[in-house]
Amino acid sequence: MSSDIILGVADVVISANVTKTTSTDFILDAPSRRRQGKTPKYRRALVHDANDGLTLNFNQDYPGGITLLGVAGIEPLPIPHAEQNVIGNLQKNPNLVIRGGIQFEWEEPQNVLVGVAHAPQKRTVSLQDMLANLLDRVAKLEKR
Protein backbone atom coordinates (compact mmCIF):
# COMPACT_ATOMS: atom_id res chain seq x y z
CA MET A 1 0.00 0.00 0.00
CA SER A 2 1.29 3.44 -0.84
CA SER A 3 1.21 6.24 1.71
CA ASP A 4 -0.63 9.51 1.40
CA ILE A 5 -1.37 12.60 3.47
CA ILE A 6 -4.60 14.36 2.58
CA LEU A 7 -5.05 17.89 3.90
CA GLY A 8 -8.76 18.60 4.27
CA VAL A 9 -10.57 21.74 5.37
CA ALA A 10 -11.17 20.44 8.93
CA ASP A 11 -8.96 17.35 9.08
CA VAL A 12 -5.76 15.65 8.02
CA VAL A 13 -5.97 12.06 6.84
CA ILE A 14 -2.88 9.86 6.91
CA SER A 15 -3.27 6.76 4.79
CA ALA A 16 -0.52 4.22 5.51
CA ASN A 17 0.10 0.75 6.92
CA VAL A 18 2.24 2.24 9.70
CA THR A 19 2.47 5.79 11.03
CA LYS A 20 5.82 6.34 12.74
CA THR A 21 7.23 9.24 14.66
CA THR A 22 10.52 9.46 16.53
CA SER A 23 9.20 12.07 18.95
CA THR A 24 8.68 11.41 22.66
CA ASP A 25 5.31 13.15 23.11
CA PHE A 26 2.02 13.09 21.22
CA ILE A 27 0.04 16.18 22.20
CA LEU A 28 -3.69 16.24 21.61
CA ASP A 29 -5.27 19.59 22.45
CA ALA A 30 -8.70 20.99 21.60
CA PRO A 31 -8.97 24.42 23.29
CA SER A 32 -12.79 24.36 22.94
CA ARG A 33 -12.94 21.26 25.17
CA ARG A 34 -10.73 22.58 27.97
CA ARG A 35 -12.12 23.13 31.46
CA GLN A 36 -12.19 26.69 32.70
CA GLY A 37 -9.57 27.76 35.22
CA LYS A 38 -5.99 26.61 35.53
CA THR A 39 -4.88 24.77 32.41
CA PRO A 40 -1.65 22.81 32.07
CA LYS A 41 1.08 24.07 29.75
CA TYR A 42 1.05 20.84 27.71
CA ARG A 43 -1.60 18.27 26.80
CA ARG A 44 0.55 15.13 26.48
CA ALA A 45 -1.83 12.34 25.47
CA LEU A 46 0.86 9.74 24.83
CA VAL A 47 4.45 9.82 26.04
CA HIS A 48 7.29 7.40 25.38
CA ASP A 49 8.55 7.70 28.96
CA ALA A 50 12.00 7.39 30.53
CA ASN A 51 11.28 3.77 31.56
CA ASP A 52 10.75 2.80 27.89
CA GLY A 53 7.02 2.62 28.63
CA LEU A 54 3.95 4.25 27.15
CA THR A 55 2.26 6.70 29.50
CA LEU A 56 -1.25 8.04 28.90
CA ASN A 57 -2.10 11.51 30.22
CA PHE A 58 1.51 12.19 31.24
CA ASN A 59 1.82 14.35 34.36
CA GLN A 60 -2.00 14.36 34.48
CA ASP A 61 -2.09 17.03 31.79
CA TYR A 62 -5.80 16.35 31.21
CA PRO A 63 -7.72 17.44 34.35
CA GLY A 64 -10.66 15.24 33.32
CA GLY A 65 -8.47 12.11 33.35
CA ILE A 66 -8.79 9.28 30.86
CA THR A 67 -11.77 7.08 30.14
CA LEU A 68 -11.43 3.60 28.66
CA LEU A 69 -14.56 2.24 27.02
CA GLY A 70 -15.11 -1.28 25.76
CA VAL A 71 -12.01 -2.69 27.46
CA ALA A 72 -11.58 -6.37 26.65
CA GLY A 73 -8.66 -6.97 28.98
CA ILE A 74 -5.81 -5.54 31.01
CA GLU A 75 -2.64 -7.55 31.42
CA PRO A 76 0.24 -6.70 33.76
CA LEU A 77 3.84 -6.86 32.60
CA PRO A 78 5.22 -10.39 32.68
CA ILE A 79 7.66 -11.14 35.49
CA PRO A 80 11.24 -11.24 34.13
CA HIS A 81 12.53 -14.83 34.01
CA ALA A 82 15.26 -14.13 36.59
CA GLU A 83 12.63 -12.88 39.10
CA GLN A 84 10.04 -15.61 38.56
CA ASN A 85 9.07 -17.38 41.72
CA VAL A 86 8.13 -20.98 41.00
CA ILE A 87 6.72 -23.09 43.82
CA GLY A 88 6.24 -26.69 42.73
CA ASN A 89 4.49 -26.42 39.38
CA LEU A 90 2.86 -23.09 40.22
CA GLN A 91 4.38 -19.96 38.74
CA LYS A 92 3.86 -16.64 40.51
CA ASN A 93 1.57 -14.37 38.52
CA PRO A 94 2.60 -10.79 37.75
CA ASN A 95 0.97 -8.04 39.80
CA LEU A 96 -1.29 -5.38 38.38
CA VAL A 97 -0.87 -2.27 40.55
CA ILE A 98 -3.86 0.04 40.94
CA ARG A 99 -3.37 3.18 43.01
CA GLY A 100 -6.52 4.62 44.52
CA GLY A 101 -9.97 3.29 45.20
CA ILE A 102 -11.83 0.80 43.05
CA GLN A 103 -15.57 0.82 42.51
CA PHE A 104 -17.56 -1.42 40.28
CA GLU A 105 -21.04 -0.96 38.94
CA TRP A 106 -23.61 -3.32 37.50
CA GLU A 107 -27.31 -3.45 36.79
CA GLU A 108 -29.25 -5.69 39.11
CA PRO A 109 -31.75 -7.98 37.40
CA GLN A 110 -35.30 -6.77 36.94
CA ASN A 111 -37.74 -7.54 39.70
CA VAL A 112 -40.98 -8.99 38.41
CA LEU A 113 -43.95 -8.71 40.79
CA VAL A 114 -47.18 -10.27 39.53
CA GLY A 115 -46.91 -8.91 36.01
CA VAL A 116 -45.28 -5.59 36.98
CA ALA A 117 -41.73 -5.19 35.69
CA HIS A 118 -39.41 -2.73 37.40
CA ALA A 119 -36.49 -1.16 35.58
CA PRO A 120 -33.08 -2.59 36.48
CA GLN A 121 -31.29 -0.70 39.23
CA LYS A 122 -27.65 0.31 38.90
CA ARG A 123 -25.58 -0.58 41.93
CA THR A 124 -22.12 0.79 42.70
CA VAL A 125 -19.92 -0.96 45.25
CA SER A 126 -16.56 -0.02 46.73
CA LEU A 127 -14.11 -2.91 46.58
CA GLN A 128 -12.31 -1.59 49.69
CA ASP A 129 -15.58 -1.53 51.65
CA MET A 130 -16.37 -5.08 50.58
CA LEU A 131 -12.90 -6.32 51.56
CA ALA A 132 -13.06 -4.54 54.93
CA ASN A 133 -16.45 -6.12 55.59
CA LEU A 134 -15.19 -9.59 54.66
CA LEU A 135 -12.07 -9.21 56.84
CA ASP A 136 -14.27 -8.13 59.75
CA ARG A 137 -16.54 -11.15 59.26
CA VAL A 138 -13.54 -13.52 59.07
CA ALA A 139 -12.11 -12.03 62.29
CA LYS A 140 -15.46 -12.56 64.04
CA LEU A 141 -15.62 -16.15 62.80
CA GLU A 142 -12.08 -16.82 64.00
CA LYS A 143 -13.00 -15.52 67.48
CA ARG A 144 -15.80 -18.06 67.68
Say what the pTM is. Answer: 0.68
Mean pLDDT of 70-86: 77
Residue 24's H or E segment, with its range, is none
pLDDT of residue 134: 96
% of the chain with per-residue pLDDT over 70: 85
What share of the chain in percent tops pLDDT 90?
57
Report pLDDT digits (tens) over 21-70: 999 999 999 988 988 887 888 999 999 999 999 999 999 999 999 999 99
Confidence of residue 19 (pLDDT cuts 50, 70, 90): very high
Whether the CB-CB separation of 57 and 42 falls below 8 Å is answered with no
DSSP 8-state assignment for residue 62:
S
- Kindly tell me if the per-residue pLDDT of 88 is higher than 70: no
Closest CA to 64 of 81, 77, 45, 50: 45
Q: What are phi and psi of 130, to 5 degrees?
A: -65, -45
* pLDDT, tens digit, 9 for 90 and up, residues 102-132: 998 888 776 666 666 667 788 898 999 999 9
